[in-house]
Copies of this chain bind each other. A is one copy, B any other.
C-alpha cells in the first residue's frame, strides 16, 4: 500500500494511492482508518510530507564510499563507525515532493543526499533485531540537503542540515518493500549523478531499531533517515533534483534562490 498525505480544498487528509487516483481514508495510517470518500485524481491534489515526525532520527555515516569521500574533502583520515549511532534533524526543515529547496543567501555549496527513510508505525522499546520490522509502517524517500561550508565550520548541524526547506521528504509511504532489492538513484536536471544499492549500509534498519530502542521509545510517525552513499555535487538555482528509490517512487524538488 502507498499512504499519501495531501491537501485538497484547504484540508489536509491521508489517502491510499491506487493507480493514478487517491482513495481518501478516515484517519492517519498510525490510527484505525477506513476508506472515506470518492477517489480523487492524483494530479488534482497537492502532496504534503507523508508524516510530520515528533522525533526525527538521521544516520550520518552509514555507507563506506560516502565516509571516504567526506574525509577526503575535509582532509582527514576516513573513520568507519564501529556501532550504530543516530543523530537528529528538525521537522522545521521538511518540505514535500515538488516543493522548492530555497538556497539561503550566503550559501556557497549546497548538496543533495538521497536517503531511504524508515517510518515507524508502532510504539516500540527493547526490540530485538529479528522483531524490528514489526514496528515499521513503511518507507519513504528523503533528500538530506547539506551546506558543506557550514557543515565543516560549525560545531553542530543546525544550519548546514536544518535550514528551512533543507529536508524534502516523500512522495508517499510505501508499505510493501523488499529492502535487499532497492536501488537509489539521484538525478540533477535529468542527469544521473549517483546510483547505489540502497541496503548496502554499514548498519541496517533492523540493527538501528534494536539499538535505538535499547534506550529510547520509538513512537508512531517517528522517522529514521538511513544515510547516503558516495559523493555529491553542488546544486544551483534552476536545478531540479530527483531521488528515486526503486519500488518506492521519486522525490522531485526544484532548487530556487532565496528572495533578495
Q: Which residues of A contact B (CB under 8 A)?
A: 52, 54-57, 60, 81, 85-93, 104, 125, 154-156, 158-159, 162-164, 212, 214-219, 222
Contact = CB atoms under 8 A, between A and B. Distances in A.
A154 B92 contact: no
A87 to B, nearest CB: 5
B158 A87 contact: yes
A215 B91 contact: no
A7 B104 CA distance: 43
B88 A90 contact: yes
7 contacts: A57-B158, A60-B155, A86-B156, A88-B89, A92-B216, A159-B216, A163-B216
B85 A216 contact: no
B92 A54 contact: yes
Contacts of A156: 60, 85-88
A93 B155 contact: no
Nearest to A91: B54
B54 A216 contact: no
A93 B156 CA distance: 20
- Identical chains bound together, number: 2
A68 to B, nearest CB: 17
A215 B158 CA distance: 9
A92 B159 contact: no
Chain B CB within 10 Å — which of A60, A81, A159, A216 has the most?
A: A216
Given A56-B90, A164-B215, 16 more contacts: A54-B91, A55-B90, A55-B92, A57-B90, A60-B155, A60-B156, A85-B156, A86-B158, A88-B88, A88-B89, A88-B90, A88-B162, A90-B216, A158-B216, A162-B215, A163-B215
Contacts of A86: 156, 158
A244 B30 CA distance: 38
Contacts of A88: 88-90, 156, 158, 162
A85 B155 contact: yes
Contact of A155 (B81, B89, B158): B81
B154 A217 contact: no
A138 to B, nearest CB: 20
A215 B104 CA distance: 7
Contacts of A92: 54-55, 216-219, 222
A217 B125 contact: no
A218 B81 CA distance: 33
Nearest to A161: B88
Contacts of A159: 214-216
